[in-house]
Amino acid sequence: MKILSIDDSNSIRHAVKKMLDVIGAEFFEASDGLEGLEMLERSGKMDLILLDMEMPRMDGMTFLETVKKDPRWKDIPVIILSSIAQRERMIKAIQEGAKQYLTKPFTSEQLLVKVVEALNLDEEIP
Amino acid sequence: MKLVGSEFELMKTFVERNCGIHLEPGKEYLVETRLADLAIELGCRSFLEFHSTALADTTGKLKGRIVDAMTTNETYFFRDDNFWTYMREVGVPELLRKAASGPVRVWSAAASTGQEAYSVAMLVDETARSMGKPHLAGSVEILGTDISSAALFLAIAGRYDGLAIRRGLSDERRRRYFREDGSVWAISDEIKSRVKFRRFNLMDPLGALGGFDLVMCRYVAIYFQEDFKKDLFGRIAQVVRPGCALILGATETLRGHSEEFEPALHKNCTAYMRKTSR
Ligand SMILES: C[S@@+](CC[C@H](N)C(=O)[O-])C[C@H]1O[C@@H](n2cnc3c(N)ncnc32)[C@H](O)[C@@H]1O
């Protein structure tokens, strides 16, 4: 399971990595949208992208639009992790194809529940 | 997208009837926000559309997501000292005494990410060993259920990060019952094999679960409406074997909700014992 975290904050990426260790995911990281695109080119298809919104060089919304237009990446589920809990923005991100939206700060349970849902890991629960 | 008030009422009724979650007046705003977020994620343009999506969901998974959005999965190992003192001194020895003559069953009715159920398994193991009868631990069957399949996925994985593992667990138990894997702690296979998890909505009939020798229904009824609490505890009474205990969270009480149990105080923990005759 490959998960790409795109966030300009080192400490958030670090915290997210630790949280994802619980489900044993292989972790990839990038500090802005451009680096995120490079990472996709370099490391191939991801199972999930965790995407910050406010970033230098290329912000989350632009990254999202780009990825959703690319047939190679458009099916990768994206969870937005944003510090701004703004309804309009959330609607826009979902319309652009993001699967879920989580507002910072979040606990590891909150993130893991979203990740499990986005990846449909709970499909087989009896 | 516009979220209309009367549509919210519709959704509120759905949530109360199907998940038991009571939306207190005054907290409506918060709840409306969270439900609206979920509706948006599902691509619904209105509560009306969300409502039909929810009605059409036959898997029950969406109900779990609604509950995930509106309640917390918060839990930790050996939560509430008083309860675990009761378990160590009374509850678990009693289970093991019975286990000598056949399997006994324990139910964690809102298991969330599994800490409560695994805590029982660890304590059963410890107690059985200290009695010199470690094999008895295998006769205590522990069932954890929850409406949230995502929480259950994590429970079944039995892997906890540094923060979760420090909450409530002694170093000794951590070393004994967990294996370190990078920054994560994984529950031992032996303990894991003694706990089963499955998805179950407490709104559904309990009969299929069978009878239990101990039931923990902790920090879940706090979300439910008075009528529904009564109904739930009445149904739980049917699956707790006569003379056996029902335990609630430390801040909860059965008073006014059920006549079928007798409160028994052990130090500072109230265990509700199922009356033998009605
Ligand atoms: C706060 S946790 C309690 C965890 C644990 N019992 C403890 O005391 O630490 C509450 C759990 O109740 C679950 N829950 C809420 N409504 C439910 C329902 N109708 N049926 C089953 N579980 C439900 C939630 O998914 C959540 O995991």
**CATH class for the region spanning B81-274:** alpha beta
* Three-state secondary structure call for residue B67: helix
- Distance (Å, rounded) from C-alpha B230 to C-alpha A73? 51
Q: Rounded to two decimals, what is the model's pTM?
A: 0.93
What pLDDT is attached to residue B47?
82
The one-digit pLDDT tens for each residue of chain B (278 residues) are 455 667 777 888 888 888 888 877 776 776 677 888 888 888 888 888 888 898 898 888 888 888 888 888 889 999 999 999 999 999 999 999 999 999 999 999 999 999 999 999 999 999 999 999 999 999 999 999 999 999 999 999 999 999 899 999 999 999 999 999 999 999 999 999 999 999 999 999 999 999 999 999 999 999 998 889 999 999 999 999 999 999 999 999 999 888 999 999 999 999 999 998 65
Neighbours of B53 (CB within 10 A): 14
pLDDT in the model for residue B45: 82
Q: Which of B41, B76, B115, B187 to mutate to test the interface with A (most CBs of A within 10 A)?
A: B41
B224: amino acid identity, one letter: F
B109, amino acid identity: A
What SS3 class is residue B263? Answer: strand
Please report how many Cα atoms fall inside a 13 Å half-sphere around the Cα of residue A58, on the Cβ side: 17
> Is-contact B67 B19, C-beta < 8 A?
yes
Question: Cβ B162–A18 below 8 Å, yes or no?
Answer: yes
Chain A residue with CA closest to B200: the answer is: A126
CA distances from residue A8 to A13, A27, A82 in whole angstroms, order as listed: 8, 16, 12
**pLDDT tens per residue across span A54-101:** 999 999 999 999 999 999 999 999 999 988 767 788 888 999 999 998
B151 pocket-lining for ligand 1 (C-beta < 6 Å): yes
**pLDDT score of B164:** 92
- Please state which CATH number belongs to domain A2-123: 3.40.50.2300
Enumerate the β-bridge partners of residue B144: B108, B197
* Domain limits, CATH 3.40.50.150, in chain B: 81-274
Tell me, in angstroms, the distance from the centre of ligand 1 to residue A118's CA.
21
Ligand 1: centre distance to CA A32 (Å): 37
**Chain B residues in contact with A112 (beta carbon < 8 A):** 150, 154
CA angle B235, B74, B214 (to 5 degrees): 35
Closest of B76, B82, B10, B94 to residue B46, by C-alpha: B10
CATH code: domain B7-70 is: 1.10.155
B248/B217 Cα distance (integer angstroms): 5
Q: What does the block give as tokens for B122? A: 């660890």
d(CA B20, CA B67): 9
Point out the ligand 1 atom lying closest to the alpha carbon of residue B148: 25
Q: Using a CB–CB cutoff of 8 Å, tell me whether B37 touches chain A.
A: yes
**Are the Cβ atoms of B154 and A22 closer than 8 angstroms?**
yes
> Tokens for A27?
């972790």
Q: Which chain A residue shows the shortest CA-CA distance from B68?
A: A113
